[in-house]
Amino acid sequence: MQLCFASRNEHKLAEIQAIVGDKFEIIGLDAIGCTAELPETTDTIEGNSHQKARYIWEHFGVDCFADDSGLLVDALNGEPGVHTAYYSGSRVAEDNINFLLHKLAHTTQRQAHFKSVITLIIKGIEHQFTGIVEGEVLLQKRGEGGFGYDPIFLPQGYTQSFAEMTMEEKNPISHRGRALQQLVDFLTKYEK
């Protein structure tokens, strides 16, 4: 089965390919000739995931899936949430990390969770899968791997930040990994 992943983010594509393996053929937006910037104008992670997948289905007619993810910090009433990728006004991860650390500088409340929602559309029918990982925001960056907020996120029950983990260590416990596993489970049953 071939599916289009509605993203140009190479880090996400690498994570997804590592989790999915060779069970399914994953193609990117370039393979279907999509050069448009996908819409992300809703105020929820679920809504943005749906909006991107629906755009691909309506404009290109291919089975596809899209994800949207966010870091939700308890002390900041769920910020950055749907604005995770450009929280500081920039799409540069370093700027966003520094902005978040600055906002948390005067609190010891550092509980947070990552949430990922994947919207799959096959033959026009939509399914959503949600993955969540609880944890906390570290006081400073740790590790060189990963991307986004990985250097400052410590998953609950672990001593390494996401950025200190290998992809093989991170994928099974990450929010995206958990949502993707649900997707793979669904597709495996769907194909039978």
What secondary structure, in 3-state letters, does the chain show?
A: CEEEECCCCHHHHHHHHHHHCCCCEEECHHHHCCCCCCCCCCCCHHHHHHHHHHHHHHHHCCCEEEEEEEEEEHHHCCEEHHHHHHCCCCCCHHHHHHHHHHHCCCCCCCEEEEEEEEEEEECCEEEEEEEEEEEEECCCCCCCCCCCCHHHEEECCCCCCHHHCCHHHHCCCCHHHHHHHHHHHHHHHHHC
What does the pLDDT look like over 179-191, one tens digit per residue? 999 998 998 887 6
Name the class of domain 2-191.
alpha beta
What does the pLDDT look like over 3-34, one tens digit per residue? 999 987 777 777 777 777 787 888 889 889 99
Which residues form the catalytic set? Answer: 68
Mean pLDDT confidence for 65-76: 96
Q: Where are the domains of the chain?
A: 2-191
Indicate if the pLDDT at residue 82 is higher than 80.
Answer: yes
